[in-house]
């Protein structure tokens, strides 16, 4: 079987079962495990599958329920929130986008921070509303349950009226060839305005989202200042993103776990 035929057969296996094991594929096609891994990396670069530990899954068209995401990889999200907060200077005007990872940035903002926070996330707004020296400005708009994310014309007009020093964006998926993607097209319009109205734009994407392609495209990697992920990420995956020209900032999760 030619490599192109084998890769098409791998995609057929994933469509049939949603997920495949690399070892099972190696046995199925009578090739080495490393050959299968190369196949999976190549298909992931095209956005045709999501490579995970031990195999691959079909790209998801919809996001997992909020309650699942709220607790999933929570240690990674807290680590990313701390790293993001360390990039913030006193007096910065910030934009905090929607998502469970970005909500951790709000929680991690140091006590010394004083400034304005613009947000379309009611989760972030509630987190910061009691902080004496922080002025919270909420976009308003249509509210999506779970994430309590605001979108629509109100949110778009709101972000169009302001400029920020730093923006921290959530993500549905991040792919070295495809770029930043998300599951909610109605919310992408606001993100595009945020990208154009912030001096520095950071995306928070835990390592499970690297290589994943969500439903709709937000932007190219070149539009991002850096990607904040966690140190559980595969080094080969990190290298792919760096070859694509994006700065990767790795939040230490393992060190924290060892300290505990």
Question: Domain with 154 in it: what CATH number?
Answer: 3.40.50.1360
Torsion of CA 198, 95, 223, 176, to 10 degrees: 170
Asked if pLDDT for residue 71 goes beyond 60, the answer is no
Q: Is there a single domain that holds both residue 152 and residue 100?
A: yes
Question: What pTM does this model have?
Answer: 0.76
User: How does strand 216-219 pair with strand 179-182?
Assistant: antiparallel
Mean pLDDT of 39-64: 73
Q: Is there a single domain that holds both residue 51 and residue 169?
A: no
Q: What are phi and psi of 155, to 5 degrees?
A: -65, -40
Beta strands in 133-251 (DSSP E): 134-138, 142-144, 149-151, 164-169, 173-175, 179-182, 198-204, 216-219, 226-230, 248-251
Q: Is there a single domain that holds both residue 113 and residue 36?
A: no
The pLDDT, as a whole number, for residue 242 is 95
Higher-pLDDT residue of 125, 1: 125
Query: What 3-state class would DSSP assign to 40?
Result: helix
Contact 128, 136 (CB under 8 A): yes
The pLDDT, as a whole number, for residue 201 is 98
Residue bearing tokens 């400005």: 137
Mean pLDDT of 124-139: 94
- Report the CATH number at residue 53: 1.10.10.10
Q: List pLDDT tens digits, range 142-152.
A: 998 878 899 99
Q: Which of 3-17, 22-36, 108-122, 162-176 has the lowest mean pLDDT?
A: 3-17
Q: Is there a single domain that holds both residue 126 and residue 42?
A: no
Domain finish residue from 57, 78, 97: 57
Q: Is there a single domain that holds both residue 80 and residue 180?
A: yes
Asked if pLDDT for residue 61 goes beyond 60, the answer is no
Q: What domain count does the chain have?
A: 2
Name the residue range of residue 46's domain. Answer: 3-57
CA distance 192 to 3: 39
Domain finish residue from 32, 57, 82: 57
| DSSP category for residue 78 | H
Asked if pLDDT for residue 234 goes beyond 80, the answer is yes
Mean pLDDT of 74-86: 95
Q: Which of 79-83, 213-217, 225-229, 250-254 has the lowest mean pLDDT?
A: 213-217
Q: Is there a single domain that holds both residue 111 and residue 200?
A: yes
Q: What are phi and psi of 160, to 5 degrees?
A: -70, -15
Mean pLDDT across the chain, nearest whole number? 88
Structure token pair of residue 230: 């966690």
**How large a percentage of the chain has pLDDT more than 90?**
60
Nearest to 33 by CA among 21, 43, 45, 42: 21
Q: Is there a single domain that holds both residue 40 and residue 115?
A: no
The pLDDT, as a whole number, for residue 258 is 47
Asked if pLDDT for residue 65 goes beyond 60, the answer is no
Q: Is there a single domain that holds both residue 28 and residue 136?
A: no
CA distance 39 to 257: 33
Structure token pair of residue 205: 């994407």
Note every long-range contact of 224-230, with CB atoms under 8 Å and residues 24 or more positions apart, other chains counting: 224/180, 225/200, 225/201, 226/202, 227/174, 227/202, 227/203, 228/80, 228/83, 228/84, 228/168, 228/202, 228/203, 228/204, 229/80, 229/204, 229/205, 230/73, 230/76, 230/79, 230/80, 230/206
Domain finish residue from 57, 77, 96: 57
Q: Is there a single domain that holds both residue 146 and residue 45?
A: no
Mean pLDDT of 7-27: 86
Structure token pair of residue 250: 């790795």
The pLDDT, as a whole number, for residue 246 is 95
pLDDT band at 68, cuts 50/70/90? low
The pLDDT, as a whole number, for residue 66 is 41
Q: Is there a single domain that holds both residue 72 and residue 200?
A: yes
Asked if pLDDT for residue 50 goes beyond 90, the answer is no
Q: Which of 69-73, 196-200, 232-236 has the lowest mean pLDDT?
A: 69-73
Q: Which of 37-46, 86-95, 122-131 has the lowest mean pLDDT?
A: 37-46
The pLDDT, as a whole number, for residue 76 is 93
Nearest to 224 by CA among 251, 206, 209, 242: 242
Q: Is there a single domain that holds both residue 93 and residue 196?
A: yes
Q: Is the dihedral of CA 227, 197, 152, 136 positive or negative?
A: positive
Q: Is there a single domain that holds both residue 37 and residue 100?
A: no
**How large a percentage of the chain has pLDDT more than 70?**
90
pLDDT band at 260, cuts 50/70/90? very low
């Amino acid at each position: 079987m030619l490599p192109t035929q084998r890769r098409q057969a791998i995609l057929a296996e994933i469509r049939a079962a949603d997920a495949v094991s690399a070892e099972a594929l190696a046995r199925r096609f009578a090739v080495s495990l490393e050959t299968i891994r190369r196949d999976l990396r190549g298909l992931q670069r095209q956005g045709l599958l999501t490579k995970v530990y031990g195999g691959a899954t079909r790209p998801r068209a919809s996001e997992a329920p909020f309650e699942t995401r709220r607790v999933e990889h929570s240690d990674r999200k807290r680590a990313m929130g701390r790293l993001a907060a360390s990039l913030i200077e006193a007096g910065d005007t910030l934009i905090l986008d929607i998502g469970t990872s970005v909500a951790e940035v709000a929680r991690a903002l140091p006590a010394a921070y004083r400034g304005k926070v613009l947000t379309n996330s009611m989760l972030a707004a509630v987190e910061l509303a009691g902080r004496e020296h922080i002025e919270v400005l909420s976009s308003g708009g249509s509210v999506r349950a779970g994430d309590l994310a605001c979108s629509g014309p109100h949110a778009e007009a709101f972000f169009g009226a302001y400029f920020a020093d730093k923006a921290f964006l959530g993500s549905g998926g991040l792919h070295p060839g495809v770029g930043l993607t998300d599951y909610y097209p109605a919310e992408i319009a606001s993100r595009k305005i945020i990208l154009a109205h912030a001096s520095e734009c950071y995306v928070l994407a835990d390592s499970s989202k690297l290589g994943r392609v969500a439903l709709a495209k937000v932007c190219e990697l070149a539009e991002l200042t850096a990607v904040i992920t966690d140190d559980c990420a595969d080094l080969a995956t990190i290298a792919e993103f760096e070859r694509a020209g994006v700065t990767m900032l790795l939040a230490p999760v393992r060190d924290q776990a060892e300290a505990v």
